[in-house]
Chains A and B, each alone.
Chain A
């Protein structure tokens, strides 16, 4: 079982088993694949270079739509216009964070500085958003239902949803510990800025 993220002298660190590393790498890779824009042979290379997608449309996959939401609740045209100018770079930023987190899994001990922790936080969030969409989590009650799937004895043969629920709960647990560690680092830094000497202040 993984040792969760903690904040200490070295910064923010965690340790994973091989199977967990493999699982997380696969999840990061899957979400990167969802985020990669369709390459079109007739695309204007200059538009691509400056990050504009003139033909951007609202994603059909609800999971991708959740990762790249409309910027206006009720003005579809404004949302589309905004998407043309921002969606490509948002896709790239998210995919970059997921790739950076996957790369950090090469080492047995994962040690994060501030930038790496930020990559991990958004990567784990995006994984959870996609899994939640696949699991049909729309309400707090749905979330409770998924949270109740506690261990492998709850998973029958070919029970994909129960398996996904376990994966979701593992990633949720991981992110809970990461956010707590990031908050501890943030508080320590705020303490230093105010002139205090926070103990155990690492990088980050």
Chain B
């Protein structure tokens, strides 16, 4: 598969943390993660598009998460209550992405 041209940011832009389901200061209270796994089929551009439009992430953050999926095999793309990440997992499955939920801290 041809790689799309990418601009990969290492840091999320300011203000992005407010958009996510929980701020960093409360992250330790939030027990579930949504994990997206790598697969050799989905286009990199498509995965980034889904992260941008479904979660409202900036292009830089979406690309960074997509690259983490691609290079490390998985990425925690969201966290929140069990109900929240389960709803998001169904949405990811509908997009054709391979997503699972797990209790936070299981990724070691």
Please list the residues of chain A having a beta carbon within 8 angstroms of any beta carbon in chain B: 66-73, 82, 86, 90, 93-94, 121-122, 125-126, 128-129, 132, 137-140, 142-144, 147, 172, 175-176, 179-180, 182-183, 186
A172 touches B43 (CB 8 A): yes
Tell me the smallest distance from the CB of A65 to a CB of chain B, in Å.
10
Interchain residue pairs A-B with the least CB separation, the first 5: A125-B96, A143-B40, A132-B41, A179-B45, A179-B46
B40 touches A125 (CB 8 A): no
CB of B7 closer than 8 Å to a CB of A: no
Main SS class of interface, B? mixed
Give chain B nearest CB distance to A140 CB in angstroms: 5
B98 located at the interface, meaning its Cβ lies under 8 Å from any Cβ of chain A in the complex: yes
Which bucket holds chain B's interface residue count?
Answer: 20 to 34
Q: List 26 A-B contacts (CB under 8 A).
A: A67-B93, A67-B96, A69-B99, A71-B89, A72-B100, A72-B102, A82-B86, A94-B94, A122-B95, A125-B95, A126-B96, A129-B41, A132-B40, A137-B40, A137-B41, A139-B40, A140-B40, A143-B40, A144-B1, A172-B1, A176-B43, A176-B45, A179-B46, A180-B45, A182-B49, A186-B53
Task: Kindly state whether residue B65 has any CB partner on chain A within 8 Å.
Answer: no
Q: How far is the CB of B63 from chain A (nearest CB, A)?
A: 11
Residue B98 contacts which of A66, A175, A182 (CB distance < 8 angstroms)? A66
